[in-house]
Structure 1
Amino acid sequence: MSAVEEVANEAPAVEAVPKRAMTLGYGTSLVVLGLLIIAPMFLKNFFVFQMTMLLIYALAVLALNILTGGSGQFSLGQSAFYAVGAYTSAILMEHMGVNYALTLPIAGIICFGFGFLFGQPALRLSGIYLALATFALAVAMPQLLKLGFFEHWTGGVQGLVVTKPDAPFGLPISQDRWLYYFTLVISIGIYIASVNLLRSRSGRAFMAIRDNEIAASAMGVDVALYKTLAFGVSAGITGVAGGLGAIAVQFVAPDGYTITLAISLFLGMVVGGVGWLPGSIVGSAFIIFVPNIAEHISKGLSGAVFGVLLFIVIFLVPHGARQVAIVAQQMLGKLKK
């Protein structure tokens, strides 16, 4: 018996992911969806804009969760894919007059190809070395966007101003509210597609590679294909999030997509719970609102306050929002009994 066969025999079989392991219950999902639909009706435009950014960053965190929580590959380069998606939408809208809705699938396809191609050389890397390679990508991207060769399209250091779309068909709602509901529909669609992906044969292949790459290969999983596919899917979703971000912020510039954004997205994934897709919105809320809370506590020491708050959260709930959800579910089960 070969060494590979021995590993395959010793490794436990990868079970199909149970529904509740990656989604909320139907009742809880309906409550959350109802709140997301109703809340903007009673908020001012600035808070509606913040909720739009909450959904956009949640998409980017979800994409990273598919890559890391699904296939076990670490990435600190999501800001690069986010930037490519943002610039794709901005360039198509401002230079070519393409409708903002049509720019999003184009941004997703371009970023999917970019991520898939980047995943090819990254196959030789794993763990911390893969993280360093993606870190290099995130550091290089803002500098590449400043090059004079691309300046006609990207605006160089000055960036591009993007026109915010009006509500279609003469609907009597503000631009911010329309863009929020537009983003909400896209987010729900991508979320459902992501859940179905992880439940599918490809999703089980991702998780088999995550748990034991050698055993997965011995069981017939095409490791190279599925690892690059995970990179491509993650980059594609991040690209759509970047396009939505460009439309919402109405501006793209190289300095808006630095390594800080990549680290923030990684932090959001950890706080939301690695491998738990509903936690993406919790992680997004953390990286958007907690820095503001820290600044209100102390403007001069906002970074230190944020670090302390982050340390407290990680210390109390090391598995993120998923751990809180499990405890709440157990307590609810006891109350029912």
Structure 2
Amino acid sequence: MSTVTATGIHHRSYRGELALRHTRAEYARLAIVVVLLVALPYVLNIYWLGIVNTILIAVIGAVGLNILVGFTGQISLGQGGFLAVGAFTSAILHERAGLPVPVSVFAAVLTTATIGAFFGLPALRLKGLYLAIATLASQEIIVFAVKRWSWLTEGQGFLDVSRLEIFGWRIQRTMFEVQWYWILLVIAAIAVVAARNLFRTGLGRSFMAVRDQDIAAAAMGVDVTRTKVTAFAVSSGFVGLAGALTAHYTETVTWERFTLDVSVLYLAMIIVGGLGSIAGAVYGAAFMILLPVLISELSEAVEPAFPFLSTQLPAIRNAMFGLVILLFLIFEPRGLARVWQRMKDYVRFWPFRY
């Protein structure tokens, strides 16, 4: 059915069943999103466009983490460390080895995927809290190496990355945020579509089978060992891409950008957005990046009436961060993706309640 009030979707061909969108309403929503994304650079100022660019990078990392946690059921607290691997790898290969940016970014993705697969080996024997502690160890090991290995930063503690240049084309200072927006939008869209299609393949379905019940998955012929390690590699590859883009976008790489706080932030993104949902990872990334910005804007607006807020802003941000996660876990564990689904169902079935 292709109407807004469709009571069911009935496929008459395999091609129709495999389509990413099945109704006219879905195509209409997609068209609206595309129009809004195309219009953003022309309606937002530089400040807000920079925040949107940060969201686009976060979307790639959140999608990668959701592949591991939401779809495979393997918890990870090493997101910040894997972001650091991608950032430092791409920056070093570009600045010191002289590799073109696309090549250095691709190498960073492969390197991060390999290291992620290595640190994913404990998942073969550990689950739950024990696996979380093991991945936390990977976070601390990577950050420790980045801080102490003076060769990485040549003793400066940070790396400067030159302005992005691809095949002779160079980012202009006056159009920095706008040009980066188009680059990041394309890459983020490709990452989202690739992740969405991943779970229409045998590999993606094996991820979900291991998440639901690894013993049953093994009984059906799924190689659980290979699946878990592959999930860590694929997830880390997405995260490495986000890290590499962060390096070239910010033009400065330092370990302070990849602490445990960043790992917790990305975990919050997929919890708030919705575990096991690619769209949820997008919603969660946007929500968690915008939350502290909106709190700051609100604090500035009410500061004349409540002057103490300016000194308490960091504490307020942390409190709101924890409160948001707690409220979602209590009232909507399936996150913003489920909230959006309920809204669509309400409109589709109105005036009925079923």
| TM-score (normalizing by structure 1) | 0.86
Distance 1:140 1:191 in 2: 29
Q: Check conservation: 1:164, 1:175, Cα contact below 8 A.
A: no
Distance 2:125 2:18 in 1: 28
- Percent identity between the two aligned chains: 33
Structure 1 residues 25, 275: CA separation in 2 closer, same or farther (over 3 Å shift)? farther
Q: Check conservation: 2:150, 2:157, Cα contact below 8 A.
A: no
Q: Check conservation: 2:72, 2:228, Cα contact below 8 A.
A: yes
- Which structure carries more helix by proportion? 1
Distance 1:240 1:166 in 2: 17
What is the aligned partner in structure 1 of residue 271 from structure 2? 270
What is the aligned partner in structure 2 of residue 159 from structure 1? 158
Distance 2:329 2:31 in 1: 29
Q: Check conservation: 1:157, 1:253, Cα contact below 8 A.
A: no
Distance 2:195 2:102 in 1: 20
What is the aligned partner in structure 2 of residue 325 from structure 1? 340
Listed as ranges, the gaps of 5+ residues in structure 1 are 1-15
Shifted more, 171-180 versus 197-206: the winner is 171-180
What is the aligned partner in structure 2 of residue 4 from structure 1? none
Structure 1 residues 18, 138: CA separation in 2 closer, same or farther (over 3 Å shift)? farther
Q: Check conservation: 2:91, 2:248, Cα contact below 8 A.
A: yes
TM-fit CA distance, 1:313? 4.4
Distance 2:184 2:330 in 1: 33
TM-fit CA distance, 1:175? 2.0
Distance 1:204 1:265 in 2: 24
Matched, 1:216 2:217: yes
What is the aligned partner in structure 2 of residue 13 from structure 1? none
TM-fit CA distance, 1:45? 2.2
1:128 partner amino acid: L
What is the aligned partner in structure 2 of residue 284 from structure 1? 285
Distance 1:170 1:207 in 2: 42
SS at match of 1:252: strand
1:145-190 superposed Cα distances (whole Å, 9 cap, x missing partner): 022xx32333456211212326865898712211111111111111
2:349 partner amino acid: K
What is the aligned partner in structure 2 of residue 237 from structure 1? 238
1:309-330 superposed Cα distances (whole Å, 9 cap, x missing partner): 4444444433211111111111
2:194 partner amino acid: A
Greater RCO, 1 or 2 (C-alpha within 8 Å, sep 6+): 1
Structure 1 residues 177, 207: CA separation in 2 closer, same or farther (over 3 Å shift)? same
SS at match of 2:164: coil
2:58 partner amino acid: Y
Distance 2:215 2:18 in 1: 20
Structure 1 residues 332, 201: CA separation in 2 closer, same or farther (over 3 Å shift)? same
TM-fit CA distance, 1:308? 3.4
Q: Check conservation: 1:89, 1:107, Cα contact below 8 A.
A: yes
TM-fit CA distance, 1:197? 0.9
TM-fit CA distance, 1:139? 2.1
Distance 1:272 1:326 in 2: 12
Alignment coverage as a number of residue pairs: 318
Matched, 1:68 2:69: yes
Structure 1 residues 208, 171: CA separation in 2 closer, same or farther (over 3 Å shift)? closer
Distance 1:314 1:28 in 2: 28
Structure 1 residues 309, 206: CA separation in 2 closer, same or farther (over 3 Å shift)? closer
SS at match of 2:96: helix
| TM-score (normalizing by structure 2) | 0.83
